[in-house]
Structure 1
Amino acid sequence: MRTFTIATKSARELARNPLLPLLALILGPFFVALIWLFFPAGGSTSYPIAVVSPAAGPDQELQSAVIASMQNLRYDTGAPILAVTLADDVDSARAEVESRRAVAFVELPAGFAKMAQRATTDPSVGIPVTLGGDLSNPQYPVAAIMVHEAISKELSHLTARAPVVELKEVALGGSATRTEFESYVPGVLIFAIGLIIFTAASSVAQEVEAGTLHRLVRTPLKARELLAGITIVQAVLGVGAGAASLGVACALGFRPAGSIPLILVVWLLTSLSVIGMGLIVGAFCRTVTQAFLLANFPFGVNMFLSGSMFPVRGFVLFRIGGQDVNLLDILPPRHAVNALNSLITYGSTNIGYELTMLSLLSVGFFVLGAWVFARRHLRSAE
Structure 2
Amino acid sequence: MNAITVFVHAFRLQLRDRLNLALTLLTGTLFVFLYWMMTGGGGSTSVRVLVLDDDRPVAVAGGTPVAAGAAVRAGLGEIRYPNDQPLAVVERVADRADAEARLRNREAAALLVLPAGLSRALSGEPGPPAEVTLVGDLTNPSYTLAAMVAQAAVATIGDAYSGVPPRVAVAERALGDSGGRTEFELYVPGLFLVAVLLMLFTAALSLAREVEAGTLRRLKLTRMTAFDYLAGVTATQVLVGMASLLVTMSAAAAMGFHSVGPWWAAMLVGLAAAIPVVGIGLVVACFARTAMRAYLLASVPFMLLMFFSGSVFPMPKIELFRAAGRVVGAFDFLPTTHAVAAFNRVMSLGGGPGDIAYELLMLVALGLIYFTAGVILFRRTHLRAEG
TM over 0.5: yes
Cα distance in 2 for partners of 1:81, 1:161 equals 28
* Structure 1 partner of 2:89: 83
What letter is aligned with 2:48?
Answer: P
Confirm or deny: 8 A CA contact 1:39 1:312 kept in the other structure: no
What letter is aligned with 2:137?
Answer: D
What letter is aligned with 2:174?
Answer: A
**Offset at residue 192 of structure 1 (A):** 2.0
**Offset at residue 275 of structure 1 (A):** 0.2
Question: Given the alignment of the two structures, is residue 368 of structure 1 paired with residue 373 of structure 2, yes or no?
Answer: yes
Q: Which moved more, 1:367-376 or 1:8-17?
A: 8-17
Cα distance in 2 for partners of 1:142, 1:329 equals 23
Q: Of 91, 104, 127, which aligns to 1:98?
A: 104
Q: Which moved more, 1:19-28 or 1:195-204?
A: 19-28
* Structure 1 partner of 2:303: 300
What letter is aligned with 1:27?
Answer: T
* Structure 2 partner of 1:49: 49
Cα distance in 2 for partners of 1:51, 1:41 equals 28
What letter is aligned with 1:201?
Answer: A
**Offset at residue 140 of structure 1 (A):** 2.5
* Structure 2 partner of 1:170: 173
Question: Given the alignment of the two structures, is residue 246 of structure 1 paired with residue 243 of structure 2, yes or no?
Answer: no
* Structure 2 partner of 1:377: 382
1:1-382 matched pairs, under 5 angstroms: 2-40=2-40, 42-54=42-54, 61-118=67-124, 126-157=129-160, 159=161, 163-349=166-352, 350-382=355-387
Q: Which moved more, 1:38-47 or 1:80-89?
A: 38-47
**Offset at residue 29 of structure 1 (A):** 1.3
TM-score norm. by structure 2 comes to: 0.91
Cα distance in 2 for partners of 1:304, 1:196 equals 17
RMSD: 2.2
What letter is aligned with 2:266?
Answer: I
Cα distance in 1 for partners of 2:232, 2:57 equals 65
**Offset at residue 15 of structure 1 (A):** 2.8
1:274–1:98 CA distance, 2 compared to 1 (3 A): same
**Offset at residue 161 of structure 1 (A):** 6.5
1:321–1:88 CA distance, 2 compared to 1 (3 A): farther
Confirm or deny: 8 A CA contact 1:41 1:79 kept in the other structure: no
**Offset at residue 18 of structure 1 (A):** 2.9
SS in structure 2 of the partner of residue 351 of structure 1: helix
SS in structure 1 of the partner of residue 274 of structure 2: helix
Q: Which moved more, 1:81-90 or 1:266-275?
A: 81-90
Cα distance in 1 for partners of 2:366, 2:140 equals 27
Q: Which moved more, 1:109-118 or 1:248-257?
A: 109-118
1:299–1:25 CA distance, 2 compared to 1 (3 A): same
User: 1:286-308 CA distances to partner (integer Å, 9 max, x unpaired)?
Assistant: 11111111111111111111111
1:56–1:268 CA distance, 2 compared to 1 (3 A): same
SS in structure 2 of the partner of residue 312 of structure 1: coil
**Offset at residue 69 of structure 1 (A):** 1.8
Confirm or deny: 8 A CA contact 1:50 1:86 kept in the other structure: yes
Q: Which moved more, 1:35-44 or 1:54-63?
A: 54-63
Q: Which runs of 5+ in 2 are unaligned?
A: 60-65
Confirm or deny: 8 A CA contact 1:318 1:325 kept in the other structure: yes
What letter is aligned with 2:309?
Answer: S
Confirm or deny: 8 A CA contact 1:198 1:295 kept in the other structure: yes
Confirm or deny: 8 A CA contact 1:50 1:102 kept in the other structure: yes
Confirm or deny: 8 A CA contact 1:148 1:165 kept in the other structure: no
User: 1:362-381 CA distances to partner (integer Å, 9 max, x unpaired)?
Assistant: 11111110000001121222
Size of the aligned set, in residue pairs, is 378
Cα distance in 1 for partners of 2:5, 2:41 equals 51
Confirm or deny: 8 A CA contact 1:118 1:125 kept in the other structure: no
SS in structure 1 of the partner of residue 147 of structure 2: helix
SS in structure 2 of the partner of residue 253 of structure 1: coil
Cα distance in 2 for partners of 1:367, 1:82 equals 41
What letter is aligned with 1:275?
Answer: V
